[in-house]
Amino acid sequence: MSDKSGKGKAGSANAGWTGLSEKELETLDHLSRNLMQASLKSQHLLSDVMRKALEGDTVLPNADPFHSAPEFHEVWKQIVAQPDLMMRAQADLMKGYIDLWSNTTKRVMASEAETKPAIEPEPGDKRWRSTDWSENPVFDAIKQSYLLNQHFLMGLVGSVEGIDERSKRKVEFLTRMMTDALSPTNFALTNPDVLRETMQSQGENLTRGLQNLLDDLASGDGRLALKQTDMEGFQVGRDMATAPGKVVFENELMELIQYAPTTETVKQRPLLIAPPWINKFYIMDLREKNSMIRWLVDQGFTVFLISWVNPGPELKDKTFNDYMHEGLFAALHAIEAATGETAVNAVGYCVAGTLLSSALAWLEAEGQSERIASATFFAAQSDFEKAGDLLIFIDDNWLKEIERIMDSQGGVLDGRSMADTFNLLRSNDLVWSFVVNNYLLGRQPQAFDLLFWNADQTRMPKALHLWYLDNFYKNNRLAKGELELGGHKLDLGAVKTPVYIQASREDHIAPYPSVYRAARLYGGPVRFMMAGSGHIAGVINHPDAKKYQYWTNEALPEAVEAWIEGATEHPGSWWGDWRDWLASHSGDDVPARTPGEGKLKPIRKAPGRNVLVRSDAKPSKPPKPPKPPKPPKPPKPSKSTKPSKPSKPGPAD
């Protein structure tokens, strides 16, 4: 059976006892070595985690961080007490499995290429993009089996009666989180892409993946810091946040940036943008091709923007009232000193929109409503009655847990905690897809501008954050007219300022039904508009991209469903619609304003220094900024500085 060289049919002397060629043996050897290396790394990882836990370097996770055990107990108690519900669910599950077994048998035994699936994934579920999940009968059966079980559990929880709505929604959300975690896509032996990569790389993907896991644990000091993008791929001020401008004012809480004009004339009334303090402002100036800041400047607006400080423990006692006075109102005074204008058009994005709505009511109570001539809200909530999945966890137990976490971090909520919370709302896209890519496939995440911004997190002061969660999410005091701030009880119904409200159809943080409720709270003219996509892409949608769509309706019926039914769909970006509305509240054209030509001189170039402070670095108090010139007291608006009123306001105003 051997030739003269001593080689067997397999081409190797070793084939006599293994039946494998030299190449196959070499492949097996590499695979074995890589699996052994992966095993050793796993042991090192486990021993390191246990050592840190025993030494007290890290706190083991709370077994029930959402304090959901009472709700789970009550829901399943009611399910067991409703035998008809259980029988129907089990009958549906059994029927689904019979169909699945029958279809799988036909495909395997009778080689039938196509059969009607027992269950299909939800539209847009990206976990099953690999063709193996549909073309390979084994993996197709694994997929459908998982979906049937998930549907069974979600159906039981969703159909149970005798449970208050909040508890049911909480258990539904957590049940989906758990079933998402158990998806076969998240395990090496049941993911065809991982199995293929393991064989092709001879197991190197597993060793690389474990090294990625070790690196992420090290960067998080024992807490998993899941990497979503290449954080070395971009640099703020070089690749992002590059719109020309100058910081013209600063204090403990913010820098005020004035952007350089690109037109010979600008609208008389300046535009002040307040981005959320839970992220950095450069989502509005991400890249040149999609920068809202550059686009607004090109439309002839004088743009000012607040760049919030990334606070350390020294600012833990800063309050919501401080952010209103030292943020929004300090910016109003500075803009007056820089331009001579006593009124601005203001924009509030996300939580800064909640701040802006509170500020409008406060100014109205003070008799100074003219300081903000119009207000625009991006993905912002003022009524939190229908505030989405975040709302279901805001109770006394969770607030105490957040306070405990902030106390352990020196009085601030670190950026990772907030990012982890938002990521869990879309766990398949923002958590598990990266677990598979980084740890099972052993790949490095690609450089992606939006995910770079998402990972460049900010901290929040304890006093501000707890007050915000309690008064808005938990008790909805602003919408109820019960919120007291700075000596006034705030009443949004008294606000007559013209308002433009933007919502996004797929927003998971500020759901459009919640945003719409605010449109009916104000006492003045309101234009409500709904954009396609979500919390970020629904807002940052440059017209040149020619993506998505938006809907308008001049009426404001009581229910958002009625508004949608009567709405008109428009292709592309909504920015043009807003620009036209904004221009009608901006006065005549005046010569362009260069940053620093007024009473406020430039302090430093945009994007400033606040935006450069990383949360993963040890927070330190920045050097005390130079004292800016004191702006004059705001005079009452005169007819000479007041933009001419448009003709009789119609529904579009």
Is the Cβ–Cβ distance between 69 and 143 less than 8 Å?
Answer: no
Helices (H), 456-511: 462-468, 477-480
Looking at 275-403, which runs of residues are DSSP E strands? Answer: 303-308, 344-349, 372-378
Q: How far apart are the first and last CA of the chain?
A: 92
**Distance set, CA 76 to CA 64, 85, 91, 603 (Å):** 17, 12, 18, 61
**Distance set, CA 469 to CA 402, 412, 418, 606 (Å):** 10, 14, 13, 32
3-state secondary structure at position 259: strand
Is 315 among the catalytic positions? no
Residue with tokens 């890249």: 287
Tokens in use for 418?
């907030």
Residue with tokens 């990012």: 419
Burial class (CB in 10 A: 0-12, 13-18, 19+), 322: middle
**Distance set, CA 538 to CA 213, 510, 543, 572, 573 (Å):** 33, 11, 12, 11, 9
Is the Cβ–Cβ distance between 548 and 533 less than 8 Å?
Answer: yes
Of 419, 412, 128, the C-alpha closest to 279 is 419
Q: Given 271, 292, 350, 603, which residue is catalytic?
A: 350
User: Which residues fall within 8 angstroms of residue 10, CB to CB, at 6 or more apart?
Assistant: 19, 20, 21, 24
Instruction: Kindly state the DSSP code that residue 650 receives in the 8-state scheme.
Output: -
Is the Cβ–Cβ distance between 361 and 490 less than 8 Å?
Answer: yes
Cβ-based neighbour number of residue 559 at 10 Å: 10
3-state secondary structure at position 568: strand
Tokens in use for 358?
């509170």
Q: Which residues are catalytic?
A: 350
